[in-house]
Amino acid sequence: QPRSAEAWLALGTNLLAHANGVLTPAAEEAFRRAIAADPAHPAASYFLGMALAQNERLDEARATWAALLERTPPAAPWRAGLAESLARLDQLIAGLGTPPPRR
């Protein structure tokens, strides 16, 4: 199902897990195809941002999450969590020390 965001997302998360959290080119491509298939679906962008951050590609992670936040409707139930994640990432990038623990 080449146009299924869910299928690409599943492939990306499985490839990421299989590589013990290393964002391989194949996993990154799967996430990007999921985003292209359904840009309004937040999961692929969120997980791609998380994987980028875990792989020390912080600026790319920030750009991914910032773009997701920009296209997230104000009433979306995940908006507050995403904004918090982005703020924590900003702290990390700014070198302000360890981000505060999640509540």
Q: What residue ranges define each of the domains in the chain, with the CATH number in brackets? A: 5-94 (1.25.40.10)
CA distances from 39 to 12, 26, 54, 94 (A): 15, 19, 22, 29
Distance CA 27, CA 64 (A): 15
pTM of the model: 0.86
| pLDDT single digits (tens) 63-96 | 999 999 999 999 999 999 999 999 999 999 998 5
40, burial (CB in 10 Å: exposed 0-12, middle 13-18, buried 19+): exposed
Distance CA 59, CA 94 (A): 11
The answer to whether residue 10 scores a pLDDT higher than 70 is yes
Sign of the torsion angle spanned by Cα atoms 56, 15, 38, 43: negative
pLDDT value of position 2: 79
The answer to whether residue 102 scores a pLDDT higher than 90 is no
Q: Which amino acid is at 37?
A: A
| pLDDT single digits (tens) 23-50 | 999 999 999 999 999 988 999 999 999 9
pLDDT value of position 22: 96
